[in-house]
Homo-oligomer: A and B are copies of this chain.
Amino acid sequence: LPANHTKLVTAAMLAIGDELLSGRTKDRNIGYLADFLTLKGVDLKEVRIVGDNEPEIVEALNALRARYVYVFTSGGIGPTHDDITADAVAKAFQVSIDHDPRAMKLLSEHYAAREIEFTEARKRMARVPHGAELIENPISAAPGFVIDNVNVLAGVPSIFQAMLDSIGPTLEGGIPVKSVAIDSPFPEGTIGTALAELQKRHPETAIGSYPRFDGERYTTQIVIRFRDEQSGNAATHDVKTMLDTLQLQEQDK
C-alpha cells in the first residue's frame, strides 16, 4: 500500500521460543501486534519465529533491524536457562551485557515488598544490553528494553500487551490505514477477473478478497485498504458498481 508520499513506517516481529515451534504454545502475540500497529499506521511487513538458539536469534534480528523502522521481539526474557533473548540481542548489537542497576533496583524492591527471595535466577531478568532503555512491566516488574530500533518484550501475552502499551506513545506512527469491507454475494471465482481490473485501476488502494463458505454457498468479503480517503472512496464506488452490475446480469438470466 503506497504511503501517499509520506514516510512509510515499517515494522517486523521476531517471536522467540522453542514452544512456539513444537506446538506446545500457540502464539497469540503476532495477531495482537498486527492489530496494534495497524491502528498506529505502522506497516507490519514481516514476522519470523525462531527457537531458543542464540545464532538463529542473532541472524534473524540483524536481518530485520537493518530492513525495517521498528522491530518487536517476544519471549525469552524470563529467569531460566532457556531465556537467552537479552544475551542474543547484546551479541547482535555487539555491545556488552550485565545486570542493569535500574533493573536491579526495580526487581529488588518488587521482591522485597513481596518477601520473595531475589535469587540468582531472578537477577537474570535484570540483564540488559549496554545502552538500552527499560520498558515498564506493570504486571510482574521484570522490564523489557529498547535498544536502537529494537523493542524487546515478554512472551506472556498479558505482559507483551502491557509492555506495548508502555512504549506505544514513544512510537512514531504513520498515516493509519483505513479499510472498507464489502460483502459480495458472488464467490471469488466469479468476481476475480473484474476485481483484478479494479485493483489495476486503483493502485493507491489494496483490494483484498476473502472467501467465505456458510455450509451452503460460497461468497466473498472484499476489503479495500487505503490511506487516502479520496482513493478509498473511488475504489469503493467502483467495486460496488461492479457487484451491482453482476447482480443485474444474474437477474436477467
Spell out A's residues near B (CB within 8 Å): 18-27, 30-32, 34-38, 43-51, 56, 60, 78-82, 116-117, 119-122, 124, 156, 177, 179, 188-193, 195-196, 199, 206-211, 223, 225
Contacts and interface: CB of A to CB of B under 8 A. Distances in A.
A222 B222 CA distance: 46
Nearest to A197: B81
Q: Chain A interface secondary structure, helix, strand, loop or mixed?
A: mixed
A173 to B, nearest CB: 15
B192 A121 contact: yes
Contacts of A211: 78, 156
27 contacts: A18-B225, A19-B223, A20-B30, A21-B34, A21-B45, A22-B38, A22-B44, A23-B34, A23-B35, A23-B37, A23-B38, A24-B208, A24-B223, A25-B210, A26-B30, A46-B49, A46-B60, A48-B48, A80-B209, A81-B192, A81-B195, A82-B199, A82-B207, A117-B190, A121-B188, A121-B190, A122-B192
A108 B120 CA distance: 67
Contacts of A26: 30-31
Contacts of A207: 81-82
A196 B49 contact: no
A190 B34 contact: no
Contacts of A78: 188, 209, 211
Contacts of A19: 208, 210, 223
Nearest to A222: B80
Contacts of A121: 188-193, 196
B209 A82 contact: yes
